[in-house]
Amino acid sequence: MQMPTCLVHCLGLVPYEQAWKLQDELAAQIAAGQQLPTLLLLEHPHTYTFGRRGKEQNLLWSPAELEQHGVAVYWVDRGGDVTYHGPGQRVAYVMLDLRERGRDVTKFVQNLEHWIIGALADFNVKGEIRDGRVGVWVERKGPGWSREDKIAAIGVRVQRGVTMHGFALNVDPDLVWFDRIVPCGITDAGVTSLADEVDGPAPGLVEVARRLEPLLAELLSFEPYQSSPDCAALPHPTPAVTMGLTV
């Protein structure tokens, strides 16, 4: 059976609330058969979001401190607890009709994990999955110590049979922002980034996007994707390339 083409849009830096609204609009169009499956690649300004299982105590800053640092906070409809979004992350929001793919949410999340792992491998970074812990992890070792650090967080929602949200891959964010939360409510693991794991300079967000896009066909059952105009050629930081989308 021929699978649909996925539209890929590089949107640059987008406030979280605007991206959330855009996802809602696209998901409704996909559910109605009026829009092709869509992948949004973007960044957010400094933002903390809580998922459906979020616990307020996992945000360690007071409202005054959040206001002082200009950080937005949202309670959203994805799974999981609290996480950080900000500059230096490659955020990917995937909207597709899961009714055409067996309605298997677990398999979809696993495909997202393997998608990230495949892209990390292009940079000689070994990403791994952990039983009972959604996301992608890197095992870090030193003299007499080892630990697991999360390099990519995943949270999804299925609405009217269509997926929303996706993942945030830490490419080169300032990891200090994770110190203000208990990431994903997990107290016995840390957070890392591609910049901390590669030998040499960290890749840019556009380069990471280029490594992610070709894996769509293999892991999300798409025919070759239609990218927004020459995403690979965009400078960093990326300007908005909307292809008719309103953000």
Catalytic residues: 184
Cβ–Cβ < 8 Å for 22, 245: yes
The amino acid at residue 116 is: I
The amino acid at residue 13 is: L
Tokens read off for 96: 């597709």
Cβ–Cβ < 8 Å for 119, 208: yes
Tokens read off for 207: 């380069």
Cα–Cα distance measured from residue 40 to residue 21, given in angstroms and rounded to the nearest whole number: 13
Sole residue written with tokens 């940079």:
123
H/E segment holding residue 205 = helix 205-212
H/E segment holding residue 241 = none
